[in-house]
Every structure is written in structure tokens, then in C-alpha cells.
Amino acid sequence: MCLICDRIKMIQNGTNPFFVKELETGYVVIGDNQHFYGYTLFLYKTHNHTELFQLDKEEKAKFMEEMTIVAEAVNNAFHPEKMNYELLGMGDAHLHWHLYPRVSGDIGSYGNHGKGPVWWYPMEKMYSDDNRPTQQQLEQLKERLLTELDKLLPA
């Protein structure tokens, strides 16, 4: 079974507390852990394909365009120094973008003297229960992101 398909099922039956908005090609969700404040994911709607290059030309262009809109909304909502964009899939091959708002010092002294990808920060710290948002924080994250998404998307 696929964790992302499970989360999408929860969105569809109204039980995913992290869900922000449905776009044409995917779903916007807030990350479970918020060490990287504003961490957001954009989940492709189906598990039919596991590589970007497998999508047909129009679908691929739309998925990429929508990802950048989500990234811009995250940027506008949470004001990082830099956005990071990642599509990996060795855990769950379901197409999904990790959108990480980055600020100086956010991986401590890990990586190359504090510089490098988020994944150089220890997994147990990144996924610690300490940085799960409270209910109130989660509502605030979702509201801020949705406000910025709605400004960028055609009504």
C-alpha cells in the first residue's frame, strides 16, 4: 500500500487534517512535521505514473506549473530566504513534491557547515514529535497558505 494514496483517500473522505486545497493535478497538504516552518507537499492525484517523464506533455506542464504556484504561495505565506523543491520517491514512488521553505541555520551545523539539503538534518530530529504542529498552529498554517494560494489562482 502507498502512504500517499492513503492520505489522498483521507482527503477524499474529509478526514485529512493537513489538507489545504485541491488543484487540477494534485492536492496541497501541510507537512506532518514543521521543523522547516511552512513545509508543504503537493501530491499528484493518482498513482498511475511514478516518473515525471511518464506524464503526457500537457499534464506534465500543468503539474509543474501548479507546483510552482504552490511554491510561490508557500513563499508568500511563510517568507523563507529560499524555497527548495524536491521530487524523490524512494520511500513512496507516488509523484509528490516536497516544498521546503529554507532559512539560514535551519539544519544547525549539519551538512557542509550548516549548508546543504534538508535531508542532511537528522531524520529523528526532522520527524520528531516535538515539531508536530498543535491543532491551533496547523489551522493557522493552513489558513495562511490557502489565503496566498487563492490570490495566485484564477477564481
Do the Cβ atoms of 61 and 69 come closer than 8 Å? no
C-alpha distances in Å from residue 30, one per residue of 48, 74, 149? 23, 10, 13
CB of 30 to Zn ion, least distance (A): 19
Q: How many helices (H) and strands (E) does the chain have?
A: 4, 5
Sole binder of Zn ion in the list 4, 73, 99, 118 (CB under 5 A): 4
Sole binder of Zn ion in the list 21, 47, 60, 132 (CB under 5 A): 47
- In three-state secondary structure terms, 44 is strand
CB of 45 to Zn ion, least distance (A): 10
Options 24-32, 88-96, 115-123, 137-145: segment touching Zn ion (CB under 5 A): 88-96
Do the Cβ atoms of 69 and 153 come closer than 8 Å? yes
**Does the protein bind Zn ion through residue 5 (CB under 5 A)?**
yes
Which residues bind to Zn ion, rule: CB under 5 A?
A: 2, 4-5, 47, 94
